[in-house]
Amino acid sequence: MADLLTVTDAGLYCAQGDFYIDPWRRVPRAIITHAHADHARSGCGRYLCAAPGMLVLRSRVGNAAPIDSLRHGDTLSINGVEVSLHPAGHVLGSAQVRLSHGGTTWVVTGDYKLEADPTCDPFEPVECDVFVTESTFGLPVYRWQDPKTIAEEINAWWRANRDAGRTSVLLAYALGKAQRLAAAVDPSIGPIIGHGAVMKMVEAYRASGVRLPPIDRVPPRTRKMGAGRALVIAPPSVAGSRWLDIFGETSVAMASGWMTLRGVRRRRGFDKGFVVSDHADFPGLLTAIAASRARRVLVTHGFTDTLTRLLQERGVDAAVLPTRFAGEAPPDAAVVDGEDGDSENGAGDQATPHASPEPDDRGEEQE
């Protein structure tokens, strides 16, 4: 029997249901695992996403796009294929896509993490026959610390900066990580200020019912606002730009899983690196794979060869699911471009964003 999903020029395709999952071209029908730019392209004929991610996706693909939503766990039949969406724990509304047809069940994880995140539903293990997993951080050097420990580290850094009269600038991807960090820090230390790209998503999160602490916009005319005391959350593209000038003396920290490595931390010359990722770490990947109880595992998006070989040695029927762009994660390609390695481009499979950076965060730099 043919596979339920195949890789085509436009992306992961289900012929039986005639739909794509996270297509990289405009297609008539797309199921979107989450709203990050490398998963949610604009211009498709019709979208389907998980209900909690509706507003976030809307803000990314535009008001005119027809978007259907499905509550987590509910089932929809598309041309005879049973489709349901299940929380992936990556960002608000991120979903694993479960497909069932002819007695075979597939799960496509999209991006996922197992750590607790107060801004989205926790990852839900879904049993299946074939498990399609990402592998962004699929090397054993990547192991995340407890989110509470990281939050304390960030708070300590912010407090020390405040006491020294420096503004704390925390670089994080505008969708997901920025909100997660805002929810994790201690707002009693000082005001939290969001870059325009961050605020757009903060609004979508709030409108979706996620509780976030007060976050101020950067007022266009009031210079020096919050300078010396505030925590400014901004996309990595602002690093080294004039946009930061209004905050006076700053300490700039990057929040990314790639910050695990000393070489990456040093190269970019951030004052500080916090190891925070919305992707599963290496043990997390292995845990999720085991929990799926799948008889076959397809590895995509990241350290595909490495993880596949390890799984095979451990007796798992595993293979690489080739995506359009081959290669392993280049931590800096993303970081140096000023784009977050985790959420958008880090996996390196997505070569297109490197060559022609998504405009998302850049249009608002002049704010």
Partner 1 sequence: MKRFTDLYWRLDATTSTNEKVEALRDYFAAAPAEDAACAMEVLSGGRQLRAVSTALLRAWAAEAAGIPLWLVEECYAHVGDLAETLALILPHEGAEAVTEGVGMGLAECMRTTILELRAADDGQKRATVEHVWQRLAPRERIVWHKLLTGGCRVGVSRTLVARALAEVAGVDPAVMAHRLMGAGVTDADSYRSLMTREPTAADARRPYPFLLAAAIECEPGNLGAVTDWIVEWKWDGMRAQIVRRGDDATLWSRGEELVNEAFPEIVAAATTLPTGTVLDGELLAVRGQSLLGFAAVSKRSGRRRVPRKLLDEVPCVFVAYDLLELDGIDIRGLPLAERRRRLEALVPLPCTAGVGSAATAAVCAAVTESAAALPPRLLHSPCVVGESWESLAAARSTSRDRGVEGLMLKRRTSPYGVGRVRGDWWKWKIEPFEIDAVLLYAQAGHGRRAGLHSDYTLGVWHDGRLVPVAKAYSGLADAEIVELDRIVRATTLERHGPVRVVQPTQVFQLAFEGISRSTRHKAGVAVRFPRIVRWRREKTPPDAGTLADLMRLIDMATVGNSPHPEAMA
Binding site for partner 1 (CB under 8 A): 139-141, 143, 260-264, 266-267, 269, 306, 309-310, 313, 327-333, 336, 348, 351, 354
Token pair in block for residue 3? 């596979």
Kindly tell me which of 21 and 335 has the beta carbon lying closer to partner 1: 335
| Phi/psi of residue 15, nearest 5 degrees | -65, -40
The residue type at 272: K
Q: How far is the CB of 271 from partner 1 (least distance, A)?
A: 8
User: What is the C-alpha separation between 50 and 33, in angstroms, rounded?
Assistant: 8
DSSP annotation string for 297-342: EEEEEESHHHHHHHHHHTT-EEEE---SS-----HHHHHHTTS-II
Residue 214 to residues 47, 231, 340, Cα–Cα distance (Å): 32, 12, 24
Q: How far is the CB of 365 from partner 1 (least distance, A)?
A: 18
User: What is the C-alpha separation between 259 and 239, in angstroms, rounded?
Assistant: 15
Kindly tell me which of 45 and 240 has the beta carbon lying closer to partner 1: 240
Kindly tell me which of 245 and 313 has the beta carbon lying closer to partner 1: 313
Please name the helix (run of DSSP H) or strand (run of DSSP E) that holds residue 177, with its range, or none.
helix 177-184
Q: How far is the CB of 272 from partner 1 (least distance, A)?
A: 8
Q: How far is the CB of 260 from partner 1 (least distance, A)?
A: 7
Residues with Cβ within 8 Å of residue 180, at least 6 apart in sequence: 91, 117, 118, 119, 120, 276, 278
Residue 27 to residues 24, 37, 77, 336, Cα–Cα distance (Å): 9, 16, 19, 32
Beta bridge partners of 93: none
Kindly tell me which of 143 and 362 has the beta carbon lying closer to partner 1: 143
